[in-house]
Amino acid sequence: MATLALVEEKTMLTLPGDAVRQIQWRFSDRFDLQMLVQSARGVARGTVARMVAAGERNTHDWTPAKNEMMEAFDRAGITAAFMEPEEGGFISGPKNLALSLAAFELAWVDGGAATSSLAGFLALAPIHERGTAEQIARYKSLSAPPQPGEDRKPWRGAFVLTEPIPYVGVDTGMLSGKMRIAEWKDGEEPMLQVDKRGRFITNIAFANFVTAAAISDDPRIKGSCVIILEETDEGIFDHGTPTKKLVHQLSSTGDPIFNLKVPASRIVGGYTVKDGVIIPNYNHGEVIEAVFKRTRVAVGLMTSAKLLSAVEPVIRYQRERFRGAEGAKPGSLRYEQGIQQREDALHRVVEVWATGEAGTALGFATARLFDTLEPIEKQKTALLKESGIQGGRAEMKALKESEHRAIELLSLSADDPRRAELEADFLVQFVLMDAETNVICPATKLWNTGHGANILREAVSLMGGYGITEDCPGFLANKWMDAQLEATYEGPEAVQRRQLTVTMTSEVFLAQFRAWTLDMRRIASQRPGTGACTLASAMNLWLWTLNYLQKTTDPSGAKLYHGQRQGVTFPLADALCWLIASRYQILDVLELEAKGPFDPVAAEGLEGTLQFLSDLCHVQAASAAGEVSRICAELVFGYNCHPSWDEEEHRSCFLASELDEYEETMPGISAMALDVLASDGTHPQKAGPCAGCAGSAEFLRLQNKLTTCLSGSRLAKDRAAETVSKVMIPEALDYPV
């Protein structure tokens, strides 16, 4: 293991390469994933980059070149990455990390290209998550690319939830898409008439099938479902006109219209019939929840990929900025370093880079956790089913006991003999992982995309005027604009914040959060340079604030922490995202420190890389601390009325004449008194006597501590900036612009 003494002396010489990333993102032992990354990168930096450079983004239409891109995905194995080997794929088992890695590589060059690949998976996801065995076999096999010697085109799918009126989105129970029974002959499969209009549907120009959300318009069908519609079904399958998007133009989006007669067997997950009524096994909400849980992670990672992709072009631009000018002769500082002579330029690159690292760490951690959770979740469902429990309240009740055990586990010391028993309990494992994913998935989608979009603007601005031209290396302006769509689709920011508002207050999650805080202190004691201590102090402040807000009311007596009170709950959710992104960033660096020395490629220059990545952690932890401190202070104090200078509220103020008297027995008291009223009743020029609130002393103590915990963070930033000014980069970007 690299020692800190060594770490402090070394400087990172080159950009972190694949060997380092494979360790950080935990796929150094997965050859299948490494191959997928390489082939996705080939398509991204080849086919896709050439398309963007050639102006393919300048049309809304689905062009032959865009179609060729889909075929390139097929050839590169990206399409097949969703399938099991028996369905035509090459990766067995859960694929959240695999799909995220592929999306990351594509988004490194173009977000629309990444979306095109993801949208096909999104169409299949309802079937994969909740479909019957027949549905899974049929649609995944049809969608797999042809095997060598096979003469067929793979089916393409689209996911159709959003509707034109009343704009049904991911979070709403309102659905306008209707289904009725068209025909139901005795002993035969019922035929349904599905009438659905979609809005902003990705992949629709060429979709052969869609998975659409629809609700019953017939007393003989209960509730809602997701249903599969095929292009050749009887009726209308109108792909609609292309949406005039300002972003992601390499993906197809449009407003389709469907009016089709389909067998009831197309209901995703099947149905039962009771008293002559068709009851879908899963309503549309249940299917969609299962789908979005996982697919949102890759979207979050897309924005982070773009942030990291911006580093190299920005550094190159800064260094070459003055070359060719009269006064910048080769060898001169101006020629060699260009804008990098200036501290601010370097510090801003550090911020872009640190944000990219944190988002990526968070996103890949989420993807990995979903991979681990998947088999455990299946086991849990099977076990509960054996006991006659299937979803809903009954399941929640059954898991309550496991939640208590999980919380107990988190409170045990490392050498407690009960640990082994609780750790081996897979229901305990399930509730722990479930509580964590329920927070870190919406956090990835919300923070990586929303905050990422803001920081992408910074990256664009670092390129000056060039940044907002089509010629900008790395297509940064496209990436910035595209990030806004990533923040919007699959549920805009409010949807993620709303989910966090609920999941971040679960007892299991909060117990985990407390354990994480202690863990950060432990890490800090061994590796103070990571900012882990700063982070732990910020975590404490956040937890204190949540607790305070949950128990406190505003001056009118209304609860502060309440689902409807988004002014309280949403900022607190935002603050949490900063903290957890920073946590996973630190954990990735620790992983590299532990495993890097055993990998011959990663081991080269490892100390310098570790130093730099630790400095980025410290910088990010300080930014997170600042955000948390600001948000929490506003929430704790902002809901108190400020005292005024009126008779009632200035009673606690000193009068100037009183102070003169006290001064005789307590010399110096005048200097301490803040709110002093003159004999004519005039007061200092400010809103009123200084405000305090119940518990404010404890808040201020924690906040004070947090402020002093920022010690060293700017030194880390200076050190990281120094590295940015020296790190070697290739002569030219490895994709065309």
Applying CB under 6 A, the residues found at the interface with ligand FAD are 119, 158-162, 167, 169-170, 200-202, 245, 248, 253, 485, 488-494, 566
CA geometry: angle 708, 712, 717, nearest 5 deg: 130
Decide whether 226 or 616 has the Cβ nearer to ligand FAD: 226
- Dihedral Cα 647, 653, 655, 660, nearest 10 deg: 170
Cα–Cα dist 120/83, whole Å: 12
For the CB of residue 196, give the shortest distance to ligand FAD in the complex, in Å. 11
Decide whether 70 or 278 has the Cβ nearer to ligand FAD: 70
For the CB of residue 123, give the shortest distance to ligand FAD in the complex, in Å. 8
Decide whether 288 or 602 has the Cβ nearer to ligand FAD: 288
For 590, the token pair is: 């620790």
Is 579 within 8 Å of 624 (Cβ atoms)?
yes
Decide whether 516 or 561 has the Cβ nearer to ligand FAD: 561
- A 10 A CB-CB count for 209 gives 24
For the CB of residue 64, give the shortest distance to ligand FAD in the complex, in Å. 21
Decide whether 251 or 355 has the Cβ nearer to ligand FAD: 251
**In 173-267, alpha helices (H):** none
Decide whether 299 or 549 has the Cβ nearer to ligand FAD: 299
Decide whether 201 or 287 has the Cβ nearer to ligand FAD: 201
DSSP 58: G
Helix (H, G, I), strand (E, B) or coil at 49: helix
For the CB of residue 501, give the shortest distance to ligand FAD in the complex, in Å. 10
Using alpha carbons, select from 443, 613, 736 the residue that is nearest to residue 2: 613
Residue 492 CA, chain-centre distance (Å), reads: 12
For the CB of residue 224, give the shortest distance to ligand FAD in the complex, in Å. 14
Using alpha carbons, select from 617, 84, 50 the residue that is nearest to residue 353: 617
Element (H, E) at 157: strand 157-160
**Tell me, what amino acid is at 711?**
S
Residue 326 CA, chain-centre distance (Å), reads: 47
For the CB of residue 115, give the shortest distance to ligand FAD in the complex, in Å. 7
Helix (H, G, I), strand (E, B) or coil at 317: helix
Decide whether 88 or 120 has the Cβ nearer to ligand FAD: 120
Using alpha carbons, select from 433, 331, 304 the residue that is nearest to residue 376: 433
Decide whether 78 or 532 has the Cβ nearer to ligand FAD: 78
Decide whether 159 or 430 has the Cβ nearer to ligand FAD: 159
For the CB of residue 573, give the shortest distance to ligand FAD in the complex, in Å. 12
Is 548 within 8 Å of 695 (Cβ atoms)?
yes
DSSP track, 581-644: HHHHHHHHHHHHHHHGGGSHHHHTTHHHHHHHHHHHHHHHHHHHHHHHHHHHHHHHHHTSPPP-
For the CB of residue 497, give the shortest distance to ligand FAD in the complex, in Å. 8
Is 232 within 8 Å of 206 (Cβ atoms)?
no
Decide whether 26 or 196 has the Cβ nearer to ligand FAD: 196
Decide whether 288 or 399 has the Cβ nearer to ligand FAD: 288
Is 278 within 8 Å of 84 (Cβ atoms)?
no
- A 10 A CB-CB count for 699 gives 19
Helix (H, G, I), strand (E, B) or coil at 30: coil
For 362, the token pair is: 């968070």
For the CB of residue 352, give the shortest distance to ligand FAD in the complex, in Å. 24
Is 248 within 8 Å of 112 (Cβ atoms)?
yes
For the CB of residue 78, give the shortest distance to ligand FAD in the complex, in Å. 18
Decide whether 161 or 523 has the Cβ nearer to ligand FAD: 161
Helix (H, G, I), strand (E, B) or coil at 455: helix
Decide whether 338 or 491 has the Cβ nearer to ligand FAD: 491
For the CB of residue 237, give the shortest distance to ligand FAD in the complex, in Å. 16
Element (H, E) at 658: helix 656-665
For the CB of residue 163, give the shortest distance to ligand FAD in the complex, in Å. 8
For the CB of residue 447, give the shortest distance to ligand FAD in the complex, in Å. 14
Using alpha carbons, select from 527, 590, 529, 597 the residue that is nearest to residue 19: 597
Cα–Cα dist 400/178, whole Å: 37
Residue 89 CA, chain-centre distance (Å), reads: 27
Decide whether 492 or 638 has the Cβ nearer to ligand FAD: 492
For the CB of residue 559, give the shortest distance to ligand FAD in the complex, in Å. 18
Decide whether 11 or 484 has the Cβ nearer to ligand FAD: 484
- Kindly give, in sequence order, each residue whose CB lies less than 8 Å from that of residue 669, ignoring residues fewer than 6 positions away: 659, 662, 663
Helix (H, G, I), strand (E, B) or coil at 323: coil
For the CB of residue 569, give the shortest distance to ligand FAD in the complex, in Å. 11
Using a 10 angstrom Cβ sphere, with 0-12 exposed, 13-18 middle and 19 or more buried, the burial of residue 724 is buried
Using alpha carbons, select from 232, 157, 227, 237 the residue that is nearest to residue 192: 227
For the CB of residue 378, give the shortest distance to ligand FAD in the complex, in Å. 27
CA distances from 625 to 47, 148, 399, 449, 619 (A): 42, 54, 35, 20, 10
Is 268 within 8 Å of 211 (Cβ atoms)?
yes
For the CB of residue 177, give the shortest distance to ligand FAD in the complex, in Å. 11
Decide whether 161 or 706 has the Cβ nearer to ligand FAD: 161
